[in-house]
């Protein structure tokens, strides 16, 4: 690949807010769950394309802590889709030496899924080139509450003083502790909000919103987002010289 300006500024970590499955389906007279099924296929394609493009980490927001509030039947179908994804698609990714891990409280899922999640993490832990983090029952606020509790316990155990709490300590206590901050957050479907996704971690992420519904998102759309990222001027509060 040629060393074009945008190639020089490749994001290391991209977060995807995969939104619009329901509207995609409804607009075609299909059930919302048909959108989720297509969405899962797209997630696999996008992950593989990100790997091909030299991205190092992708975090896929698949199910939020608030998504339990949806109708029971939709939640059930989503769990069935995740289960199938773990048993089929992730097996394929494992063959391609992709490290796969999960963030979010997994204990709320059925025991067979929790077992499979732990197994996947164990089996892929040694792969270093490319990693996929699946956010399932993830919500930033819950993650932050859990982190505050961990820090409080450390203080009570006298591991460090209150004055020792700093950015690193907070990072270590969050479930995202072993991935770099995301450089780019892509949200599909035209909504322009974070919806409780990586809110501490994306403090300086570039945000990219596209009207494309997730089931229609493809390799070219990802290329467009990466190119747009390459044109951004990330200042981190400093002055560009």
Among 11, 15, 21, 65, binds ligand IPE (CB under 6 A): 21
Residue 143 contacts Mg ion per CB under 5 A: no
Residues 181-240 within binding reach of ligand IPE (CB under 6 A): 189, 191, 193, 195
Among 19, 143, 183, 201, binds Mg ion (CB under 5 A): 19
| Residues sharing a CB contact under 8 Å with residue 63, sequence separation 6 or more, in sequence order | 78, 82, 104, 135, 136, 137, 138
| Residues sharing a CB contact under 8 Å with residue 5, sequence separation 6 or more, in sequence order | 230
Residue 143 contacts ligand IPE per CB under 6 A: no
Q: How far apart are CA 181 and CA 178, in angstroms?
A: 10
Among 46, 62, 174, 184, binds ligand IPE (CB under 6 A): 62
Question: Is 67 a catalytic site residue?
Answer: yes
Residue 80 contacts ligand IPE per CB under 6 A: no
Side by side, which strands form the sheet with 131-138? Answer: 99-103, 131-138, 57-64, 13-17, 184-187, 206-209
Max CA pair span of the chain: 59
Please identify every residue annotated as catalytic.
19, 67
**Interacting residue ranges for Mg ion, rule: CB under 5 A:** 19
**Interacting residue ranges for ligand IPE, rule: CB under 6 A:** 17-23, 61-64, 67, 78, 189, 191, 193, 195
């Amino acid at each position: 690949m040629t060393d074009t300006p945008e190639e020089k500024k490749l994001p290391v970590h991209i977060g995807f807010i995969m939104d619009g499955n329901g509207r995609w389906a409804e607009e075609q007279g299909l059930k919302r769950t048909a959108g989720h099924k297509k969405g899962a296929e797209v997630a696999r394609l996008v992950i593989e394309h990100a790997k091909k493009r030299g991205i190092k980490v992708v975090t896929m927001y698949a199910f939020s802590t608030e998504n339990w509030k949806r109708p029971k039947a939709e939640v059930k179908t989503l769990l069935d889709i995740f289960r199938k994804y773990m048993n089929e698609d992730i097996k394929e990714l494992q063959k391609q030496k992709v490290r796969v891990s999960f963030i979010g409280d997994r204990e709320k899922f059925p025991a067979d899924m929790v077992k499979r999640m732990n197994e996947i993490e164990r089996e892929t832990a040694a792969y270093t080139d490319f990693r996929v983090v699946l956010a399932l029952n993830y919500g930033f606020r819950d993650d932050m509450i859990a982190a505050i509790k961990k820090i409080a316990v450390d203080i009570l155990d006298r591991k460090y003083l209150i004055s020792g709490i700093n950015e690193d300590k907070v990072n270590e206590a969050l479930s995202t502790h072993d991935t770099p901050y995301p450089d780019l957050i892509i949200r599909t479907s035209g909504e322009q909000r974070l919806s409780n996704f990586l809110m501490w971690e994306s403090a300086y992420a570039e945000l990219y919103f596209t009207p494309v519904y997730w089931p229609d998102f493809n390799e070219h759309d990802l290329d467009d987002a990466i190119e747009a990222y390459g044109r951004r001027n990330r200042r981190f509060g400093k002055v560009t010289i």
